[in-house]
């Protein structure tokens, strides 16, 4: 599968509006993502499969930059395309984007039950730098950081 990475636009978001919460993830809804895309310190990318006649959106991810620190706000692969390397491509591109923005570190928070995401972040060099007790209802949140 050929994947291309582009800057995510409102039109991309509209394109997946009806399947956002069922086929991607229900963490964030359309309205919040729309606000994120319109925010001047947020940077979102989208992964599109080039195999279809029409480019299909198979994942997206975004960071928010405050001074020289980036926070990963979102990274999600469409459910039917998981475990095919798309999350890795998205995360590598967020790291590249952060470097280009002269950011010195990237952080995120992940539910300690989310083994796939934890594995992915570790694979690309993130280290656990903190733990937030009971952040996700009764689950802990790991804070992970990559120094650039």
Ligand X SMILES: CC(C)(COP(=O)(O)OP(=O)(O)OC[C@H]1O[C@@H](n2cnc3c(N)ncnc32)[C@H](O)[C@@H]1OP(=O)(O)O)[C@@H](O)C(=O)NCCC(=O)NCCS
Residues that bind ligand X (CB under 6 A): 25, 75-77, 82-88, 108, 110, 114-117, 119-120, 123
Single out the residue of 74, 69, 59, 71 nearest to residue 1, CA to CA: 59
Active site residues: 109, 121
Closest to ligand X by CB, 77 or 98: 77
Closest CA to 107 of 131, 125, 126: 126
DSSP state of 26: S
Q: Are 107 and 144 in contact (CB under 8 A)?
A: yes
CA distance readout (Å), 107 to 8, 11, 73, 110, 141: 21, 28, 9, 10, 12
């Amino acid at each position: 599968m050929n994947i291309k990475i582009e800057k995510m636009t409102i039109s991309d978001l509209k394109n997946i509006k009806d399947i956002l919460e069922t086929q991607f993830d229900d963490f964030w809804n359309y309205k919040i993502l729309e606000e994120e895309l319109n925010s001047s310190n947020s940077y979102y990318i989208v992964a599109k499969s080039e195999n279809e006649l029409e480019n299909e959106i198979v994942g997206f991810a975004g960071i928010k930059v405050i001074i020289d620190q980036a926070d990963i706000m979102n990274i999600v692969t469409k459910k039917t395309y998981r475990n095919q390397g798309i999350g890795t491509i998205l995360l590598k591109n967020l790291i590249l984007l952060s470097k280009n923005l002269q950011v010195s570190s990237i952080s995120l928070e992940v539910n300690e039950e989310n083994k796939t995401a934890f594995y992915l972040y570790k694979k690309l060099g993130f280290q656990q730098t903190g733990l937030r007790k009971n952040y996700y209802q009764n689950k802990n949140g790991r804070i992970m950081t990559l120094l650039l």
